[in-house]
Amino acid sequence: MLLQGLHDLGYVEGQNITFTYRYAEEKPERLPALAAELVQLPVDVIVAGPPEAVQAAKQVTSTIPIVMVTGGPDPVGAGFVTSLARPGGNVTGVSLVFGDELAGKWVALLKEALPQVSRVAVLWDPTRPMITATMQEVERVAQGVGLRLQRMAARQADEFEAAFAAMVREGSEALIVL
Rounded to an integer, the average pLDDT of 76-85 is 82
Cβ neighbors of 3 (< 8 A, separation 6 or more) are 13
**Greater confidence, 36 or 71?**
36
**Least confident window among 14-23, 64-73, 96-105:** 96-105
Q: Are 40 and 34 in contact (CB under 8 A)?
A: no
**Greater confidence, 22 or 76?**
22
173, 121: one domain:
yes
8, 47: one domain:
yes
Single out the residue of 115, 123, 121, 83 nearest to residue 99, CA to CA.
83
Give the confidence band of 97 by pLDDT, cuts at 50, 70, 90. low
87, 16: one domain:
yes
Rounded to an integer, the average pLDDT of 62-80 is 84
13, 65: one domain:
yes
Among residues 78, 95, 112, the one where a domain terminates is 95
129, 51: one domain:
no
Q: What local confidence, expressed as pLDDT, does residue 164 receive?
A: 94
Single out the residue of 16, 25, 65, 13 nearest to residue 42, CA to CA.
65
Among residues 95, 122, 146, the one where a domain terminates is 95
Percent of the chain at pLDDT above 70?
Answer: 94
89, 13: one domain:
yes
Q: Residue 132: pLDDT above 90? A: no
109, 79: one domain:
no
Q: What are the φ and ψ backbone dihedral angles of 20, each rounded to 5 degrees?
A: -115, 115
Give the confidence band of 98 by pLDDT, cuts at 50, 70, 90. low
Rounded to an integer, the average pLDDT of 77-95 is 85
What CATH number does the domain containing 50 carry?
3.40.50.2300
107, 84: one domain:
no
User: pTM surpassing 0.85?
Assistant: no
Cβ neighbors of 132 (< 8 A, separation 6 or more) are 126
62, 83: one domain:
yes
Domain that residue 131 falls in: 100-177
Query: Which one-letter amino acid corresponds to residue 86?
Result: R
Domains of the chain: total: 2
130, 162: one domain:
yes
Among residues 38, 60, 95, the one where a domain terminates is 95
